[in-house]
């Protein structure tokens, strides 16, 4: 369903035609058209679709109609169409209208255009691309790097040079980053959009790993974080085909310009930070955009201001924040682990596989496309961030016991109970370790009454049995009703009298029996 939702987003939010959506998502244009036909039939808005579950959306988008029989569609004469398109003022729309007038049961507009493009591809011709204002931003890394030294004498590193070029005006942007990693890659995009003051409809990257997880000539897989960034800015990612440099010729030319007019001029400079290097690149990129064209009037900047800038989409109010994703399984304690810290989710999701999206400030947990939990990020190891609403009823009740509440409640029961709680806390390495036992002891008042609990705690203090189990045993055996004589002179006297009292029993033979037995054997005990 993520692919279906992306198709719908590109159509309803980005207003891309079916063919561009099909190329971006790697599906047949007919599938795209069918999706929007079903959405139109139900009169659904993008807000309505967001509220639908994956199952509901799947039921709406299922193709229940049969395919058009092949014999009903008269195949167009593509050679004739190709020749006619070279004539001034002739468009594909006009040629399709003429075709459908002659063949009412023929191919619909989207399929007609798709089949013509496929026919053109088979010709293996290289065509000059015509770029629409504000439509495409071509991005790539320069193969040439710049050495940045550590001022403290540490190891130097090779700064990577990111380049972005708009299709219609050739307006260029460049910056240096520490790596070509995902964080730097997405960060360069956000800064490029800010530099332009708007967002293009389509971003055309090369098939580097930061942007494309599985390169494919016809169906590349876009990195999830990269895809999320495109959703935030309302643009579409359309990677260049593998081994098809004509798809990103603008980026190739932009890289070449940056290497010649910027990097070459910095070849004798020594840099000690990325900030210093980027200041120099920024100054030179401004000069490059202001350089007059040789064959036409104006410059990249003037052409950008007149053509591309008015067609760009506005920037979102809040810039995109880089986020990472991870897959986790909810533990039996309804928590998931992330970098040594634990975050709670609603207990009903225990044991389920979830997806975690985390930034430097927040952690979000998703079940499918539904967000089920959100926390502020906390990297404290072996600690837990637990929301009360995620807990079971019994756990929630236990969570309500704060240290102050425990001490106040034990004091209300009696001095001995309060003393037991104090000693429990003092005996533990960390006070939190004693809270569970203290809550358990206080809870005994419900079954045995506060009075009996206070007496039991008093007895426990005298015999040194300060624990939940000891106090429970006193109450269960009714020892709180008996007088405690241990340690008194009267008790000592009773024990001494009992020890001096002779023992008479038929099974006890006594000393004489063993002496007689020894005499009979004529030996000794040794």
37 occurs within a structural domain = yes
Domain boundary among 311, 337, 360: 311
503 occurs within a structural domain = no
Query: SS3 of 464, please?
Result: coil
Closest CA to 274 of 138, 193, 160: 160
Cα–Cα distance, 251 to 257 (Å, whole number): 10
b (16+ CB within 10 A) / e for 2-22: eebbbbbbbbeebebebebbb
Radius of gyration of the chain (CA): 40
**What are the structure tokens assigned to 159, written together?**
């700064």
Q: Which pLDDT value is given to residue 313?
A: 92
Give residue 91's domain range. 2-121
Domain boundary among 358, 391, 424: 391
453 occurs within a structural domain = yes
**What are the structure tokens assigned to 157, written together?**
């590193």
Q: How far is CA 240 from CA 61, 251, 311, in A?
A: 29, 10, 22
- Give the DSSP per-residue string, 349-375: GTT-EEEEEE-SSEEEEEETTEEEEEE
**What are the structure tokens assigned to 45, written together?**
């808005």
Q: How far is CA 455 from CA 438, 449, 460, in A?
A: 16, 10, 9
430 occurs within a structural domain = yes
Q: How many C-beta atoms lie closer than 10 Å to residue 404's C-beta?
A: 8
**Residues 458, 402: one domain?**
yes
Cα–Cα distance, 339 to 43 (Å, whole number): 45
Exposure of 274 by Cβ count < 10 A (0-12 exposed, 13-18 middle, 19+ buried)?
Answer: middle
First-to-last C-alpha distance (Å) of the chain: 92
517 occurs within a structural domain = no
* 444 in Cβ contact with 453 (< 8 Å): yes
Q: How far is CA 158 from CA 145, 153, 181, in A?
A: 6, 15, 13
CATH number at residue 236: 3.30.420.10
317 occurs within a structural domain = no
Cα–Cα distance, 373 to 324 (Å, whole number): 16
Q: Is the dihedral of CA 274, 275, 280, 282 positive or negative?
A: positive
Cα–Cα distance, 432 to 382 (Å, whole number): 14
**Residues 193, 223: one domain?**
yes
The contacts of residue 403 (CB under 8 Å, 6+ apart) are 431, 435
**Residues 283, 366: one domain?**
no
Q: How many C-beta atoms lie closer than 10 Å to residue 62's C-beta?
A: 10
Closest CA to 250 of 162, 174, 137, 173: 137
**Residues 160, 282: one domain?**
yes
Exposure of 340 by Cβ count < 10 A (0-12 exposed, 13-18 middle, 19+ buried)?
Answer: exposed
**Residues 111, 166: one domain?**
no
**Residues 152, 297: one domain?**
yes
CA 363 to chain centre: 7
Domain boundary among 349, 367, 391: 391
pLDDT of the chain, 526 residues: tens digit per residue: 577 888 888 888 888 888 888 888 878 888 888 888 888 888 888 778 887 887 778 878 875 444 444 444 677 888 778 767 766 567 888 888 888 888 888 888 888 888 888 877 765 444 445 567 788 899 989 888 999 998 887 789 999 999 999 888 889 999 999 998 888 999 999 999 999 999 999 998 876 655 455 444 434 466 778 888 889 999 988 887 655 555 556 667 878 888 888 888 888 899 999 999 999 999 999 999 999 887 667 888 998 998 889 989 999 998 888 888 888 898 887 888 888 888 999 988 988 999 998 888 889 999 988 899 999 988 888 788 888 888 777 666 655 666 777 888 888 888 888 888 888 878 775 565 677 788 888 888 888 888 898 898 888 888 888 888 888 888 888 887 876 654 445 555 555 555 555 556 566 666 566 566 666 655 544 4
**Residues 302, 338: one domain?**
no
**Residues 407, 380: one domain?**
no
506 occurs within a structural domain = no
**Residues 402, 384: one domain?**
no
Cα–Cα distance, 248 to 165 (Å, whole number): 10
Cα–Cα distance, 68 to 91 (Å, whole number): 26
**Residues 150, 272: one domain?**
yes
Cα–Cα distance, 58 to 494 (Å, whole number): 86
β-pairing verdict for 384-385 and 370-376: unpaired
Tally the domains of the chain. Answer: 4
**Residues 277, 172: one domain?**
yes
**Residues 387, 405: one domain?**
no
Is the pTM of the predicted complex or chain greater than 0.85?
no
The contacts of residue 423 (CB under 8 Å, 6+ apart) are 461, 466
Count of residues making up the chain: 526
* 71 in Cβ contact with 97 (< 8 Å): no
Cα–Cα distance, 486 to 461 (Å, whole number): 13
219 occurs within a structural domain = yes
């Amino acid at each position: 369903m993520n692919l279906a939702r992306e198709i719908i987003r590109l159509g309803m939010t980005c207003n891309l035609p079916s063919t561009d959506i099909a190329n971006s998502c790697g599906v047949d244009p007919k599938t795209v058209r069918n999706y929007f036909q079903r959405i139109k039939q139900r009169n659904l808005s993008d807000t309505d679709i967001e509220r639908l579950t994956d199952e509901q959306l799947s039921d709406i988008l299922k193709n229940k109609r049969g395919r058009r029989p092949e014999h009903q569609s008269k195949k167009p004469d593509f050679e004739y169409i190709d020749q006619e398109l070279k004539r001034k003022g002739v468009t594909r729309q006009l040629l399709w209208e003429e075709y459908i007038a002659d063949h009412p049961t023929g191919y619909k507009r989207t399929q007609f255009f798709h089949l013509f493009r496929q026919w053109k591809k088979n010709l293996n011709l290289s065509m000059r691309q015509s770029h629409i204002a504000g439509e495409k931003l071509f991005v790539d890394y320069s193969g040439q790097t710049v050495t940045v030294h550590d001022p403290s004498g540490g190891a130097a590193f090779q700064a990577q040079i990111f380049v972005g070029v708009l299709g219609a005006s050739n307006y260029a942007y460049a910056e240096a980053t520490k790596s070509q990693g995902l964080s730097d890659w997405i960060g360069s995009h956000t800064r490029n959009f800010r530099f332009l003051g708007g967002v293009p409809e389509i971003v055309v990257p090369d098939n580097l790993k930061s942007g494309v997880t599985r390169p494919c000539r016809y169906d590349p897989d876009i990195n999830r974080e990269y895809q999320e960034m495109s959703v935030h800015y309302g643009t579409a990612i359309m990677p260049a085909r593998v081994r098809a440099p004509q798809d990103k010729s603008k980026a190739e030319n932009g890289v070449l310009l940056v290497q010649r007019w910027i990097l070459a001029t910095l070849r004798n400079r020594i840099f000690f930070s990325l900030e210093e290097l980027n200041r120099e690149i920024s100054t030179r990129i401004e000069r490059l955009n202001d350089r007059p064209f040789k064959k036409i009037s104006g410059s990249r900047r003037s052409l950008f201001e007149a053509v591309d800038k008015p067609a760009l989409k506005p920037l979102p109010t809040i810039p995109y924040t880089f986020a990472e994703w991870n897959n986790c399984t909810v533990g039996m304690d309804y928590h998931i682990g992330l970098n040594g810290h634990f975050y709670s989710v609603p207990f009903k999701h225990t044991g389920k596989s979830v997806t975690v999206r985390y930034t430097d400030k927040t952690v979000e947990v998703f079940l499918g496309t539904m967000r089920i939990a959100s926390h502020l990020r906390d990297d404290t190891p072996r600690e837990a961030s637990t929301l009360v609403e995620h807990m079971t009823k019994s756990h929630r009740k236990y969570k309500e016991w704060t240290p102050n509440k425990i001490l106040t409640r034990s004091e209300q029961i009696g001095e001995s109970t309060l003393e037991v709680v104090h000693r429990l806390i003092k005996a533990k390495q960390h006070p939190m370790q004693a809270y569970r036992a203290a809550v358990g002891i206080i809870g005994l008042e419900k079954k045995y009454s506060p009075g009996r609990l206070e007496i039991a705690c008093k007895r426990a203090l005298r015999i040194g049995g300060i624990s939940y189990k000891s106090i429970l045993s006193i109450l269960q055996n009714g020892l709180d009703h008996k007088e405690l004589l241990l340690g008194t002179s009267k008790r000592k006297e009773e024990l001494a009298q009992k020890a001096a009292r002779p023992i008479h029993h038929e099974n006890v033979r006594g000393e004489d029996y063993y002496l007689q037995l020894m005499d009979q054997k004529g030996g000794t005990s040794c």
